[in-house]
Amino acid sequence: MGKKKHYIQNQLKDFRLDENLTQSDLAFLLEIKNVGRISEWENNKSYPGFEHSMSLEIILHRYNSQTFDPLRKELAKKIEIRKKLLQAKKKWERRLDKGG
């Protein structure tokens, strides 16, 4: 069964418009030939890679954690859950190593 992708609002479009940039303008600045990629990022169909993320910070004058704040928050929650699972796993492994 496939994993359902959650819709996570980002502010890329709002920040782009704050800078008076069209999607075409932003694609040009990022040296992206396919303007549709900007739309994909704005609609959470894909996310920019590291280099484009760093460039977006410069162009938009915003940190990625601001632009993609809901995604950052969701990832933080997932990581906290994984940390707790890791702690439980390590505790269990120590018990097994001690013989019970």
Residue ranges of domains in the chain, CATH in brackets? 12-97 (1.10.260.40)
Residues 34, 26 contacting (CB under 8 angstroms): no
∠ Cα 80 50 31 (to 5°): 150
Supply the pTM of this predicted model.
0.70
Q: How high is the pLDDT of residue 9?
A: 64
Q: Which residue has the tokens 């709002």?
A: 14
Q: What is the pLDDT of residues 8-54, one digit of tens each?
A: 568 999 999 999 999 999 999 999 999 999 999 999 889 899 999 99
- Cα 69 to Cα 31, 62, 85, 89, distances in angstroms: 25, 11, 24, 30
